[in-house]
Amino acid sequence: MSNLAIIPARGGSKRIPRKNIREFFGKPVIAYPIQTAIQSKLFDEVMVSTDDPEIEKISKKFGAAVPFLRSSHNANDQATLADVIAEVLGSYQKKGRSFHFFCCILPTTPFLLPEHLSQGYDHLISGNYDSVFPATRFSHPIQRAFKIKDGKASMLWPDMIQTRTQDLPATYYDSGQFYWMTVHSFQREHKLFTKNTGAIEFPENYFVDIDNETDWKKAELLYSVKSQIQK
């Protein structure tokens, strides 16, 4: 079985400028997933998909391959993750290389460890899933969610107001770290989630999905705490 790690890292980032190569505790944040993927020994190749020469240089420095630059079409705000993956797989096929599985690892994942990737891969294989990703449980039942319009509150699911909290099913959200998938399933569906997608649960605050400056500061605080605990 041949596996490809795809780390998508375009140069443009509006909420956190140059986010993918911003320094995080002594090295560019993209260095963490690159090194984690390499250390896992799960992949025949660890590659970075980027349109940016500086990101290309840094990625290669930390051991990733950058066999081609991303097209301008897939480097804008409208391009989806699926579009980027399709371009990567297609470019490899043109070079005569194909893979059975790929893992798309997001570039701002400093908490990711090799064992997390192994756990996802094992779940993908043992469950015969199309794809697998890490998920975290909501700390409060989303069935009790409400909206506010013109200062007035109304529940999204009014029929749940009398249901006891302990009787409501647990709900989860995407941790935003990585996505394992079979190449065949992706080429069939052109999306990361299918009717046969599995998930592995990680505790709340185990990861931080870094999308803005507040997330970045939260990640720095959590990383600092974890580093102190490990000493």
Tens-place pLDDT, residues 119-151: 999 999 999 999 999 999 998 899 999 999 999
| Residue 68 within any structural domain of the chain | yes
Least confident of 145-149, 165-169, 195-199: 165-169
In the predicted structure, residue 231 carries a pLDDT above the cut 80: no
Q: What CATH number has the domain bearing residue 35?
A: 3.90.550.10
| Residue 10 within any structural domain of the chain | yes
Give the whole-angstrom CA distance, residue 180 versus residue 3.
10
Do residues 30 and 130 make contact, with C-beta atoms less than 8 angstroms apart? no
Give the whole-angstrom CA distance, residue 188 versus residue 182.
10
| Residue 146 within any structural domain of the chain | no
Mean pLDDT of 90-103: 97
| Residue 155 within any structural domain of the chain | no
Do residues 129 and 49 make contact, with C-beta atoms less than 8 angstroms apart? no
| Residue 153 within any structural domain of the chain | no
pLDDT digit string, tens, across residues 178-187? 999 999 999 9
Average pLDDT, the chain: 95
| Residue 144 within any structural domain of the chain | no
Give the whole-angstrom CA distance, residue 6 versus residue 17.
22
Do residues 40 and 82 make contact, with C-beta atoms less than 8 angstroms apart? no
**Structural domain boundaries, residue 108:** 3-137+172-230
Record the tokens describing residue 218, joined without a space.
């939260």
Please state, in angstroms and as integers, the Cα–Cα distance from residue 231 to each residue in 55, 135, 225, 227, following that order: 32, 28, 10, 7
**pTM for the complete prediction?**
0.94
The pLDDT assigned to 121 comes to 98
Domain count, the chain: 1
| Residue 23 within any structural domain of the chain | yes
| Residue 143 within any structural domain of the chain | no
